[in-house]
Structure 1
Amino acid sequence: MQNTVLVTRRLGANAHGSRCYSPSACPNIFELNTGDYLAVGRDVTAYMRRLLPVDAGCAEDEAIVLLPQRVVVLAAPEILAA
């Protein structure tokens, strides 16, 4: 039987507000039933990969995602409480 990964909750305030770029583009942070987190944001991998510090990297199967500060600030209390 295959393990199913599910979104269990949104962290921070509901996205449909001041942090949305458009009705279909709202950065969010979600908690998964595995305990991991999922980030929805703007993919800036192509530009930022070369600007990472020398001791950081981004593998071919990874992406660098930009999250507005407000998204992280609103989600932080819930992340820290987990």
Structure 2
Amino acid sequence: MKIVRRIGASPRERGSMSGDSCPDIFELSDGNFAVIGTEATAALDDELPSDAARADYERIVIVSRETLVRAKADIPDK
């Protein structure tokens, strides 16, 4: 599995000059996506709706609204 491309604007394009806040979204060679975000499993685990589940190896991460909105145009329809 490899990173194929960035989805959306780079952190620098979104104004992160210091590298302190760098949420990011990447398309992987297997067609899945990887995200860099703020780990929030402990804070949000109990907030999941009753029809949602998280495996022990999965984490809840927060990606800023700007990151996701700016990635929208690059996310394939299929």
TM-score (norm 1): 0.83
- The number of residues matched between the two structures is 78
Residues 38 and 27 (structure 1), Cα distance of their counterparts in 2 relative to 1, 3 Å cut: same
In the other structure, the counterpart of 1:64 is: 60
Runs of 4+ in 1 over 6 A off after TM superposition: none
In the other structure, the counterpart of 1:78 is: 74
TM-score (norm 2): 0.87
Aligned to 2:7, which of 11, 23, 28?
Answer: 11
Task: Give structure 1 stretches of 5+ with no counterpart.
Answer: none
| Residues 10-56 of structure 1: per-residue CA shift (max 9 Å, x gap) | 01111124454941540000001111100100010011000011111
